[in-house]
Amino acid sequence: MTARKIALVVTARPSYARIKTALQAIQGHADLQLQLIVTASALLDRYGSIVNYIEQDGFKIAARVFVVLEGENLLTSAKSTGLGVMELATSFDNLRPDIVVTVADRYETLATAVAASYMNIPLAHVQGGEVTGSVDEKVRHAVSKLANLHFASTDGAAERLIRMGEDPRTVFVTGCPSIDLAAGVLENPALDFDPFQKYGGVGAVNELSDGYVVVMQHPVTTQISDSRAQITETLEAVEAMDMPALWFWPNVDAGSDDISRGIRIFREKGQGNFKNMEPEDFLRLVYNSKAIIGNSSMGIRECSFLGVPAVNVGDRQAGRERGANVIDVPCEMKAIQSAVRTQLGHGRYEQASIYGDGKAGQRIADLLATAELNIAKQITY
Amino acid sequence: MTARKIALVVTARPSYARIKTALQAIQGHADLQLQLIVTASALLDRYGSIVNYIEQDGFKIAARVFVVLEGENLLTSAKSTGLGVMELATSFDNLRPDIVVTVADRYETLATAVAASYMNIPLAHVQGGEVTGSVDEKVRHAVSKLANLHFASTDGAAERLIRMGEDPRTVFVTGCPSIDLAAGVLENPALDFDPFQKYGGVGAVNELSDGYVVVMQHPVTTQISDSRAQITETLEAVEAMDMPALWFWPNVDAGSDDISRGIRIFREKGQGNFKNMEPEDFLRLVYNSKAIIGNSSMGIRECSFLGVPAVNVGDRQAGRERGANVIDVPCEMKAIQSAVRTQLGHGRYEQASIYGDGKAGQRIADLLATAELNIAKQITY
Amino acid sequence: MTARKIALVVTARPSYARIKTALQAIQGHADLQLQLIVTASALLDRYGSIVNYIEQDGFKIAARVFVVLEGENLLTSAKSTGLGVMELATSFDNLRPDIVVTVADRYETLATAVAASYMNIPLAHVQGGEVTGSVDEKVRHAVSKLANLHFASTDGAAERLIRMGEDPRTVFVTGCPSIDLAAGVLENPALDFDPFQKYGGVGAVNELSDGYVVVMQHPVTTQISDSRAQITETLEAVEAMDMPALWFWPNVDAGSDDISRGIRIFREKGQGNFKNMEPEDFLRLVYNSKAIIGNSSMGIRECSFLGVPAVNVGDRQAGRERGANVIDVPCEMKAIQSAVRTQLGHGRYEQASIYGDGKAGQRIADLLATAELNIAKQITY
Amino acid sequence: MTARKIALVVTARPSYARIKTALQAIQGHADLQLQLIVTASALLDRYGSIVNYIEQDGFKIAARVFVVLEGENLLTSAKSTGLGVMELATSFDNLRPDIVVTVADRYETLATAVAASYMNIPLAHVQGGEVTGSVDEKVRHAVSKLANLHFASTDGAAERLIRMGEDPRTVFVTGCPSIDLAAGVLENPALDFDPFQKYGGVGAVNELSDGYVVVMQHPVTTQISDSRAQITETLEAVEAMDMPALWFWPNVDAGSDDISRGIRIFREKGQGNFKNMEPEDFLRLVYNSKAIIGNSSMGIRECSFLGVPAVNVGDRQAGRERGANVIDVPCEMKAIQSAVRTQLGHGRYEQASIYGDGKAGQRIADLLATAELNIAKQITY
C-alpha cells in the first residue's frame, strides 16, 4: 500500500496552533504523507509570518498560496475567498492529494472545501459541528455539508453533525488537537520566557509577576460597522483595571483594521501588545494569566482544559459549548469590568475535558490512514 | 418604504426556466426592484445564449458576468467557481441589493451564495432541501447552510431543511416555479411550432406526428470518467427504438465534452438535436412526447405535473422525491430499453402536485417583499 | 555548470508549429533543460487539443495552465490576459526557470511577458520586431519592450528592434523556426496522407488531385464588429471558384465565434474544414495547394519559403515584410476573386529566405545556453 | 457633440499628486466627462488612504478597484498585475469610456494599458518616453507601445517616443502635471501647517525652523534582495547629520516591507515619519526643506522647478533628464553624506522648466477633448 497523501491547509495563527499535533501525527505516520499548504494570513508579515514558526517546527511546506486581497472590507473578503478557491485548486492539481483536510470555519476553510469538492477529492473537516455566532457559523456548517469525513471536537458537535444529516459512519469524536497542545504545556506550565524580549512590546516579565490578563478580540464580521466601538468597550474596561494587560492582534478579517486602530490608541500605556507568538508560548502565557478577556474561542476551548477564567464578550462565541470557567457578558464596559472582577476573585478552575483529552492529533492521523474514502455523499434523511 | 432590491443570478438554461415566473412576479411587484444578473453558460453561444431569450422575455439585465474558464475538467470547474465568487462580488458591490437570490445547486449557485455571505447580504435559496446524487447534492445543502431564507419546492424538502437545523421561521414551501411554467403550458398544450425549423436539427415536425421521445443526459460529476460510457448506453437504447428521438445537449460541466462527443456520433441519424429552446417550447415538446429519457430533473419535477412518462437513468437523481410517472433504471442499455417499452405502453400519467401547484413565482415574490431580513443565523440545535 | 532551465510557453496551433524546432533543439541541448508550459487554446478540445500532438512529438509537459475565459468578446479577451498573468506567475514560481521564452504577439504572449518581468526572470522574445495590423501589432512591440533577449526572424525585424531602442547586443537574427519546419517538409514534400481520413471533413484525397486551395482567416481584433462580414467576402469568393477549398478554423480570439459561424454556413458544400492538423501535415497540404487565401501570416512567412502563391486579405498582415509570392487585396469579394485567378495562373514561386534558412531552432537554443542574462535594461537613447 | 468620457486610473500617492491638475482640468472641461477610477495602494489604509484626499478635493469616484494581493514579493506583484487587468476590465466594461488615461510606469499602469488595449479603448499615456532604472523602465516603454496618445513631460521624452516608432501626430509635449502643482505652491510657499500635528509623527514644527531634510527611498524592484541594505546606507547617512529628517514611507511594491522595517528601526529617534500627505502639503514641506534625499523622482522632477537641492541615491532614476539641482551618488553611506553636505552648502537652485511650465493639466484636458481617436496603430518604420 502506498502512503495516502494528505493535503492540509493552514491559514492563520489559531488554525496552526489548533492543528499542530495532528500535523505531527500525520508526518510521523507510516501510512501517510503530509502535504502542508500554507496560505492567507499565515504567510503575511503583518500577521506575524506564522509560516516561519511552522518551518522551525520541522514541517516541510509543499505550497505557499497567496490569497489575501488587501482592503479588509466585505468586498475583499469575498474576493479573497474566490481567489482562494482558484489558487488552492492549482495546488491540489499539482499535489494530487488523496484527502484534503480543512480546519474550522474561516473563509480559507470554505475556499479549501469548495476547491476540493469540485476536484473530486475527499474532504476531511476538523472542528465541524460546533456552534458560534458570526459569519463563521454559516461557513462552518456549509463546510460540513461539503465534507466527507468529520473529526469533531466534542460529543455535542458530533451529535449535531449527525442530526444535520451526515452519515454517522463518517463522524468521529477525536477531540480538538488544540487541547493536545494545552496538555503538553501542562506538563511544564511555568512561564519560562520573557514575552517582551522574545516578541516585542513595551514592558518586562517581572512586571507580570503580580498577575496580568490576556486580551484578544476579533471583529464580528456580521456586525462590521461596530468593530471599533466594540473594541473600545473592552479597551476601556481593561484600562480601568489595575493590572497589566497583554493584547493580541486580531486575524485578518473584514473589520480588523478598525480593531487594530483601536488597539494602537491604547498602545502607549506601556503594556505589551503582540502580533503573534509560538502556540506553546501563547498557551503558557494564557495559563499563567489571571484571566482571558475578549471573544477568542481560546477562552472557551483551551481555557476549559487549562482552567483559566474567561470573560467572553459579545456574540461571537454564542452557542459554543462551554465549561464553568466562562462568564459571558455583553459588549459593554461596565459588564466586562464586573465580570473580570468576579473572575479575578475566583481564580483558577478545575480542568474540563469537553474539548478533548489531549490525544486528538494521533486519532485524526489514524483515521486519515484508515477511513474509507468516498466523494459521493447523500443526506441521511 | 423603498422597494427592496432583489439581485437574482441566472446561470443556465434550466435555472432560467425554473425561475422565470418568479422573475416575472418580482418584476411586477410594487415593493420589489429586480436586479437580474446573468452569468456562466447562460451567456455563452455554445450553450444557446439563453441571455437572448431572457431579453426577449422583457427582462432588463443588470450585469453580465463571465465566469466559465474553458477546459471542462475538474480543475476548471473549481476555478470557475472561484472566479464566480470574485466576479459576482463585484456585481453585488455595484448593485447593492437588499437580498440575493440563488437557485438550485450548480457551481454558480454556490459562488453566488459565498459572495453574498461574505458581503453580509441576506441570501434566499430556491429549491433547497431536495435530495439527489452527484456533487450537486453536497453543494445544495452547503448553499442552504449559507442561506437566510429558504423557498422549498416540496413539503419533504422543507421538512428536511428544518431537520438540518434551519430556523422554521425562515423555511417556506412555495412550490417550484418550474411548475408554474408547466401549468401555463397546460392551458394551451398543443405543439404549435416546428422545432426543427425554429431551433435547427435535421427533420420536420410531421415526422413527429406518430410519437417521439425526448432525451437529456447530463454528466455525473462525481463519476466523471464514465460520462461517455454512460451516454453510450442511453444512445444505444434509444437507437434500437423505432421512434424519433429529440436530443438535448448537457449543461456546461466537467464531463460534458464527453457527452457532447457521444451525441455527435449519433447525430447523422437524422434525428433532431438541440442546444437550447425557449422554456415553454421545451415544456410543450416534452408534454407532447411519449416519454422523457435520461437523468434530467425535468423527468421527475415538471413531468410529474405534466404526466409525461419518464425513464430516469443512473444515480444523478437518486433520492429526489418522485411521482408515479418515473421508472428508475441503472445505466445499462437493456434496462433502459425495457423501461422505455413499459412507459410507451403505459402512456400519460395523472397530474401530481408534489413540486407545486403553479403559483410558486408569486409566493416567492411576496415573501421577498415581506420576510424579515437577517444575515446572522445559528443552527437550531 | 548546471543546465539553464528554459520555460517556454506554447499557446496555440500556430505558435507550436512556429517554435517546434526550437523546442527540439532546447530539449536536445546539453546545457539546457526544457520546461514546456502549455496554455490557452492549445489545451482546448474545440481548438484541436494541440497538446496531444505536442506529447506525441515526445515533449514532456511541465505545466498545463487554463486561462481562456469563455465568451469570446473584448471583455473576456482582457480578462483572459489578466488570468494568464496570474496563472503563469504560479507556474514560474513553481518551476523557477532561468529564462522565460515567449513567442509572437498573442494575449498569452503578453501575459507571459508581464508575469516574467514582475518576477525578475529574464525574458526572451521570438518573432519580435515584425510589423502587422491588429491589436497584435501593439502587443508585439510592448512585449519587445519587456524582453531582455530578442530572436528576430528577419534582418528588417532586428533593425527595427534596435531603432526602437533595444540594446544591439541583445538582438539576434535567428530566422523564424517556422521556416525550419518548412525546410524539413521540402525534403519530402509529397502529400502522403488523406486529410479527410486523418482529420475529418467531408471529401476524399483524390478529389484534391486536380488542385485545391487552402483558406485561413482570423478575426481582426480591432475591427471586431466586421468579422462576419469579412469572412463572408472571402467565403463567397472561394465558393465562386471551381476548385475544392480546405478551410481552417481561426484561433480563439474575440470575434472568432463570428468567423466560425460563417464557416459553418458553407460547410455543407462538401469541402473539408479542419480545426487542427499536425504542423508538418499542414505545411505539406499548403505546399501542394494551388494557393493560400486569407489573412494568416503563414501565407507570407512559410509560403515565401515554400513558394506557394498567397492572396492576403485585408489589413491583418499590413506592414509585414513579404516576398514576391503575395498579392494583397482588400476584403472585397471581387478583389479576392481576381487575385486568386492571377495566382492560379502564375503557379509556384521561387524560394525566398526572408524569414530564415531553416536553422533557427538550433540558433535559438545555442543563444539561450550562452547569452548573458540580465533583468535590468534601459532604452539606448 | 456629447462629452467624451475619460476614465483615468489613479493608483498611488505620487500618481495622484502628479495627475491632480489634469483631473481638475478634465472635470472642468465642457467637452469631457471624468470617470475617476481609484485602485491599488490609493485605496489602502496602510498606504495612507489617498482616496480620502481625492474625495476631499471634490472628485467623484466612479469605481474603487481592489487589486493588491498581500505578500509584497515578486509573485504577488505579478499576480496583482494580472488581477488589475481583470478587475479594471470590469470597470471599463461598466463605464464604457471613450478614452482611458494611464499615468507613469507602475504595475497598475501596465494593467490599465493591457485592459484598455484588449477592450479596444483608445489609451492615453502620461509621462511616457522618460528614462529611469528598475522594472519601471521596461514597463513605461511597454505602456507607450500600447498607447494611442502620448502626453510627454519633456522635449526629450517626446523625441524618444518618436524615435521608438510612435506616430509624431500622437505625441504631445504637455509638461508634467506635477509641475502645475508645484507652480501653485510657489504662489504661496510658506510652511503654513504643522506636519506632526496634521499627519502624526513625533516632533513639533518649531523644531524644523533651523532647517530639515526630507527622505524618501523606494525599493528597486530589480534589486529586491538589497532593499534593506540600501535603506540602511541612507538611514545611517541621515542619522549622522545634525538636522531633523522627515521620512516618507515607500509605495507598496515588492521589497517595500524591507524598507519599512528599516525605517521603523530608526523611528524612535524622535523624527517624523509619514505615510502620506496631501500633495500640496508635501510640496510645501519639500520646498522649505534644505534638501531631499533618496531615490524618488520628486527630487528630479518637481525639485528642478522648486529649486530644492536633491541627493539622488542609486540607480532607480538612472537616465532620467535632470537639472542642476541634482547630485547623483551610489548607495553608500559616505557618498550620500558627502553629497548632502555639498547640497546644504549650496542652498536653493534656480527654477528650471525641463518638466513643464505649470500648465500641463489644461493642455492634457484640451487634447483629450480634441485629439483624433484611433485604436489601430503601427510602428512608423
Which chain A residue shows the shortest CA-CA distance from B146? A138
pLDDT, averaged across chain A: 90
Alpha-carbon separation of residue D164 from C134, C270, D374 (angstroms): 19, 50, 19
Q: What is the arithmetic mean of pLDDT over B166-183?
A: 96
> Contacts of residue A39 in chain C, CB cutoff 8 Å?
none
Nearest to B70 among C66, C79, C257 (CB): C66
Q: Which chains touch A (3 or more CB pairs under 8 A)?
A: B, C, D
Reported as type and span, the H/E element at residue C181 is helix C177-186
pLDDT of residue C221: 66
> Contacts of residue B90 in chain D, CB cutoff 8 Å?
87, 90
Whether A304 shows a pLDDT value over 70: the answer reads: yes
> Contacts of residue B73 in chain A, CB cutoff 8 Å?
none
Q: List the one residue out of C78, C80, C120, C81 whose CA is nearest residue C99.
A: C120
Whether A133 shows a pLDDT value over 90: the answer reads: no
Confidence of residue A270 (pLDDT cuts 50, 70, 90): very low
pLDDT of residue B265: 54
> Contacts of residue A38 in chain C, CB cutoff 8 Å?
none
> Contacts of residue C45 in chain B, CB cutoff 8 Å?
72, 257
Q: What is the arithmetic mean of pLDDT over B231-257?
A: 76
For residues C310 and C355, the answer to whether their CB atoms sit within 8 Å is: no
Give the Cα-Cα-Cα angle C17, C18, C19 (nearest 5 degrees).
Answer: 95
Phi, psi of A313 (to 5 degrees): -100, 125
Whether B51 shows a pLDDT value over 80: the answer reads: yes
For residues B236 and B8, the answer to whether their CB atoms sit within 8 Å is: no
Provide, rounded to the nearest whole percent, the portion of chain A with pLDDT above 70. Answer: 90
Lowest average pLDDT, out of A149-158, B65-74, C198-207, goes to C198-207
Whether D355 shows a pLDDT value over 60: the answer reads: yes
Whether A367 shows a pLDDT value over 90: the answer reads: yes
Residues paired with D329 in a beta bridge:
D313
Report d(CA B335, CA B344) in Å as an integer. 14
Confidence of residue D18 (pLDDT cuts 50, 70, 90): confident
Nearest to B74 among A81, A118, A254 (CB): A118
Whether A268 shows a pLDDT value over 90: the answer reads: no
A185-213 residue pLDDT tens: 999 999 989 888 888 766 677 788 889 99
Distance from CA of A268 to the nearest CA of D (A): 13
Verify whether the Cβ–Cβ distance D66 to A71 is below 8 Å: yes
For residues B124 and B101, the answer to whether their CB atoms sit within 8 Å is: yes
Reported as type and span, the H/E element at residue B64 is strand B61-65
Per the model's pLDDT, the better-predicted residue between A252 and C157 turns out to be C157
pLDDT of residue A277: 81
Q: Which chains touch B (3 or more CB pairs under 8 A)?
A: A, C, D
CA atoms within 13 A on the CB side of D144: 38
pLDDT of residue C223: 66
Report d(CA B280, CA B16) in Å as an integer. 11
Verify whether the Cβ–Cβ distance D107 to C118 is below 8 Å: yes
Verify whether the Cβ–Cβ distance A44 to D83 is below 8 Å: no
Verify whether the Cβ–Cβ distance B79 to C67 is below 8 Å: no
Mutation site for D-interface testing, chosen from C77, C79, C162, C321 by largest number of D Cβ within 10 Å: C79
pLDDT of residue D330: 94
Cell of A292: 482571558
ipTM, two decimals, is: 0.88
> Contacts of residue C74 in chain D, CB cutoff 8 Å?
118-120
Q: List the one residue out of D241, D187, D176 whose CA is nearest residue D212.
A: D241
pLDDT of residue B268: 45
Q: What is the arithmetic mean of pLDDT over B118-144?
A: 93
Verify whether the Cβ–Cβ distance B70 to C71 is below 8 Å: no
For residues B217 and B294, the answer to whether their CB atoms sit within 8 Å is: yes
For residues A353 and A176, the answer to whether their CB atoms sit within 8 Å is: no
| Three-state DSSP class for residue B242 | coil
Tell me how many residue pairs between chain A and chain C have CB atoms under 8 A apart. Answer: 4
Per the model's pLDDT, the better-predicted residue between D50 and C339 turns out to be C339
Distance from CA of B54 to the nearest CA of A (A): 27
Which chain B residue shows the shortest CA-CA distance from C256? B45
| Three-state DSSP class for residue C37 | strand
Distance from CA of B260 to the nearest CA of A (A): 21
Nearest to B70 among C70, C75, C257 (CB): C70
Nearest to A376 among B86, B110, B222 (CB): B222
Most confident of C8-22, C55-69, C266-280: C55-69
Report d(CA C59, CA C211) in Å as an integer. 35
Verify whether the Cβ–Cβ distance C44 to B71 is below 8 Å: yes
A332-350 residue pLDDT tens: 999 999 999 999 999 999 9
> Contacts of residue C69 in chain B, CB cutoff 8 Å?
66-70, 83
Residues paired with C64 in a beta bridge:
C38
Report d(CA C99, CA C121) in Å as an integer. 6
Report d(CA D93, CA D72) in Å as an integer. 29
Provide, rounded to the nearest whole percent, the portion of chain D with pLDDT above 70. Answer: 90
Distance from CA of A76 to the nearest CA of D (A): 7
Q: Is B71 left (phi over 0), alpha (psi -120 to 50) or beta?
A: left
Distance from CA of A62 to the nearest CA of C (A): 10
Mutation site for B-interface testing, chosen from C43, C50, C70, C253 by largest number of B Cβ within 10 Å: C70
Provide the strand spans (E) within B97-227: 99-103, 123-126, 149-152, 171-173, 213-216
* β-pairing verdict for C310-313 and B99-103: unpaired
For residues D164 and D188, the answer to whether their CB atoms sit within 8 Å is: no
Mutation site for C-interface testing, chosen from B39, B70, B249 by largest number of C Cβ within 10 Å: B70
Distance from CA of D65 to the nearest CA of A (A): 10
Reported as type and span, the H/E element at residue B67 is none
Report d(CA A39, CA C143) in Å as an integer. 32
Q: Which chains touch D (3 or more CB pairs under 8 A)?
A: A, B, C
Confidence of residue B251 (pLDDT cuts 50, 70, 90): low
Neighbour count for residue C379 (Cβ, 10 Å): 21
Verify whether the Cβ–Cβ distance B68 to C70 is below 8 Å: yes
**Contacting residues for D329 by C-beta, under 8 A, at least 6 apart:** D311, D312, D313, D335, D336, D338, D339
3-state secondary structure string across A225-280: HHHHHHHHHHHHHHHHCCCCEEEECCCCCCCHHHHHHHHHHHHHHCCCEECCCCHH
Verify whether the Cβ–Cβ distance A66 to D68 is below 8 Å: no
CA atoms within 13 A on the CB side of A44: 21
Distance from CA of A196 to the nearest CA of B (A): 36
Whether C265 shows a pLDDT value over 60: the answer reads: no
> Contacts of residue D251 in chain A, CB cutoff 8 Å?
none
Mutation site for C-interface testing, chosen from A80, A90, A92 by largest number of C Cβ within 10 Å: A90
Nearest to B120 among A74, A118, A165 (CB): A74
Distance from CA of C37 to the nearest CA of A (A): 14
Report d(CA D214, CA D212) in Å as an integer. 7
pLDDT of residue C228: 73
Report d(CA D14, CA D27) in Å as an integer. 20
> Contacts of residue A259 in chain D, CB cutoff 8 Å?
none
pLDDT of residue B222: 66
Whether D254 shows a pLDDT value over 60: the answer reads: no
Nearest to A66 among D67, D69, D257 (CB): D69
Secondary structure letter of residue A60 according to DSSP? P
pLDDT of residue B308: 97
Verify whether the Cβ–Cβ distance D66 to A76 is below 8 Å: yes
DSSP codes, C69-111: BTT-SHHHHHHHHHHHHHHHHHHHHHH--SEEEEETTSHHHHH
Distance from CA of B71 to the nearest CA of C (A): 6
Chain A: which residues have CB within 8 Å of chain C? 87, 90, 94
Verify whether the Cβ–Cβ distance C79 to B69 is below 8 Å: no
> Contacts of residue D134 in chain C, CB cutoff 8 Å?
376
Q: What is the arithmetic mean of pLDDT over D81-107?
A: 97
Q: What is the arithmetic mean of pLDDT over B233-238?
A: 86
D281-324 residue pLDDT tens: 999 999 999 999 999 989 999 999 999 999 999 988 888 899 99
Verify whether the Cβ–Cβ distance D114 to C81 is below 8 Å: yes
CA dihedral C329, C332, C335, C340 (to 10 degrees): 80
pLDDT of residue B272: 61
* β-pairing verdict for B273-274 and B245-248: parallel
Whether B276 shows a pLDDT value over 90: the answer reads: no
Which chain B residue shows the shortest CA-CA distance from C258? B45
Tell me how many residue pairs between chain B and chain C have CB atoms under 8 A apart. Answer: 36
Q: What is the arithmetic mean of pLDDT over D28-57?
A: 90
Output the pTM of the full model: 0.89
Nearest to D78 among C89, C254, C381 (CB): C89
Whether A266 shows a pLDDT value over 80: the answer reads: no
Verify whether the Cβ–Cβ distance B71 to C257 is below 8 Å: no
Q: What is the arithmetic mean of pLDDT over B266-290?
A: 77
pLDDT of residue C270: 44
> Contacts of residue A87 in chain C, CB cutoff 8 Å?
90
Secondary structure letter of residue A41 according to DSSP? G
Provide the strand spans (E) within C109-207: 123-126, 149-152, 171-173
Report d(CA C240, CA C337) in Å as an integer. 8
Alpha-carbon separation of residue A354 from A280, A294, B56, D306 (angstroms): 20, 21, 60, 70
Distance from CA of A113 to the nearest CA of C (A): 21
pLDDT of residue D129: 97
